[in-house]
Amino acid sequence: MEEERIRVPAPAGSLSQQEIVMMVFTSMAGRRLLPKKCWSLSRLLHDTVAPIIKVHLVADSINAATLHRLLEDTSRRNVQRLTLDGDFTSMQQRPLNLVPLLSPAVAQVDVAFCSFSGSIEDVLTIPSLPEGVASLSVTAGFSRDVVWAFSKLPQSLRHLIVDATTDVIVFEQPLPTLLESFIVESGGEVHVGAGSLPASLRNLQLWGFQQLYELPPRLRVLMLQRYIYPLPLLPDTLETLVLDYCTHHVSNLPDSVRSLALYWHPAQPAPPLPARWPAHLERLVDWAVGESEPDDAPEPCIDRPLPPTLTQLELNGCSIATDLPQTLQTLRLGRGFSQELDLAGSFKVTVNGRRYCYE
């Protein structure tokens, strides 16, 4: 990536020979034209041409002294992209401070399979990030009996993704007011310690979240898994709704909904379909996850006309007692769908599908 570090103003009046030479060297340094042997001619030029670099460290290939010297000496380098590959917790002399290490130009931070240590036992404190970061993705492996604590998030953050198999995830401060995507997947509980969800949210995907009393007014995507509370009123901007193994369901959907996906487990009663179809519904998923057993709940049946706007239909562990709409373009049937269908028309059919995905 080419970056001009210093903008040299046009000469104003007469300049001395020394000033002209300094201007030329400064311009060359800003355009990365100055040979490395000349970088030490002056402290100003040395700092000016300090390179923006990408760092990829493998845990087993570096010692602790080199690790700290490389990552904490920010006077000689400005890290734009940092990858820590492996477990560095056993080789650190002290906790790494990544905030001054990151370049102010960094807009995206991805942290994968890293361990963070905090001052309190059984609490992993995620380091705060500088303003300017627009996207943060944190994914990790198995960490039972540990609380993940996010202290302060930058107000510049627009997208936040957290995927961790841990008991509790806590966001101690209110979420950034400009946040557009908030995606949290956890095997345990998720809590936002202060304030409600920001009104700027467009995409909300939560697993095991605390009770929602109100949804953002301009929300477009809502995905909930293992949500045990009644659903709040859905905004009329919502286009995609996914409910997976939720205790409560909605009977009335806004007409703005174009995709409705209901995932459930055969051991539990299937979720009821909405009282009426949204006026613009294009995709419907009624999908049982897992194999059914003889003592499972009765197989549900779709026995009322499907919406005439429907183009995609996905069924598993249920039956259908109504005609398929003429607008249908894609039909996907899982392994748990055993009904014989009399198909007519021109559309794509996928049978014995095992995989299910959130779309």
Single out the residue of 173, 137, 130 nearest to residue 154, CA to CA. Answer: 130
- Domain membership of residue 275 (yes or no) is yes
> Cβ–Cβ contacts within 10 Å for residue 24, how many?
12
Angle made by CA atoms 331, 333, 335, in degrees to the nearest 5: 170
- Domain membership of residue 36 (yes or no) is yes
Which of 6, 31, 48 terminates a domain? The answer is 48
- Domain membership of residue 197 (yes or no) is no
Stated length of the chain: 359
Q: Looking at this protein, which amino acid is placed at residue 197?
A: L
Which of 24, 48, 72 terminates a domain? The answer is 48
- Domain membership of residue 347 (yes or no) is yes
> Do 270 and 290 meet the contact criterion of CB atoms below 8 Å apart?
no
Sign of CA dihedral 16, 19, 25, 28: negative
The predicted model scores a pTM of 0.74
Residue 284: strand, helix, or coil: strand
> Do 267 and 289 meet the contact criterion of CB atoms below 8 Å apart?
no
- Domain membership of residue 271 (yes or no) is yes
DSSP secondary structure code for residue 252 in this structure: -
Residue 331: strand, helix, or coil: strand
CB proximity list for 241: less than 8 A, separation 6 or greater: 222, 223, 234, 250, 253, 257, 259, 260, 261
Single out the residue of 298, 300, 304, 275 nearest to residue 286, CA to CA. Answer: 300
CB proximity list for 170: less than 8 A, separation 6 or greater: 147, 148, 149, 150, 190, 191, 193
Q: Residue holding tokens 């995206």? A: 108
Rounded CA-CA distance 107/302 in Å is 47
- Domain membership of residue 340 (yes or no) is yes
Rounded CA-CA distance 153/126 in Å is 10
Total domains in the chain come to 2
- Domain membership of residue 124 (yes or no) is no
pLDDT at 284: 97
Structural domain of 41: 16-48
Ranges assigned E (strand) in the chain: 52-58, 78-85, 108-112, 123-126, 135-150, 159-171, 181-186, 189-192, 203-207, 221-225, 240-244, 259-264, 283-288, 301-302, 312-316, 319-320, 330-334, 348-353
Residue-level pLDDT, tens digit, the chain, 359 residues: 444 444 545 555 566 666 676 777 777 766 666 666 665 555 555 554 455 566 677 777 777 777 666 666 655 555 666 666 666 666 555 555 555 556 565 677 777 766 555 455 677 777 778 788 888 888 765 566 678 888 889 999 999 999 877 778 888 888 999 999 999 988 778 888 766 799 999 999 998 788 888 999 999 999 999 888 889 999 999 999 999 988 888 888 999 999 999 999 888 888 889 989 999 999 999 999 887 776 667 788 999 999 999 999 999 999 999 999 999 999 999 888 888 887 877 777 888 755 555 45
pLDDT at 115: 57
Q: Residue holding tokens 């006026």? A: 279
pLDDT at 90: 62
> Cβ–Cβ contacts within 10 Å for residue 81, how many?
15
Rounded CA-CA distance 8/27 in Å is 6
Rounded CA-CA distance 290/353 in Å is 12
pLDDT at 133: 86
> Do 232 and 209 meet the contact criterion of CB atoms below 8 Å apart?
no
Rounded CA-CA distance 259/347 in Å is 18
pLDDT at 5: 47
> Cβ–Cβ contacts within 10 Å for residue 1, how many?
6
> Do 322 and 298 meet the contact criterion of CB atoms below 8 Å apart?
no
> Do 268 and 249 meet the contact criterion of CB atoms below 8 Å apart?
no
- Domain membership of residue 125 (yes or no) is no
Give the pair of three-digit tokens for residue 342.
């009399």
pLDDT at 158: 94
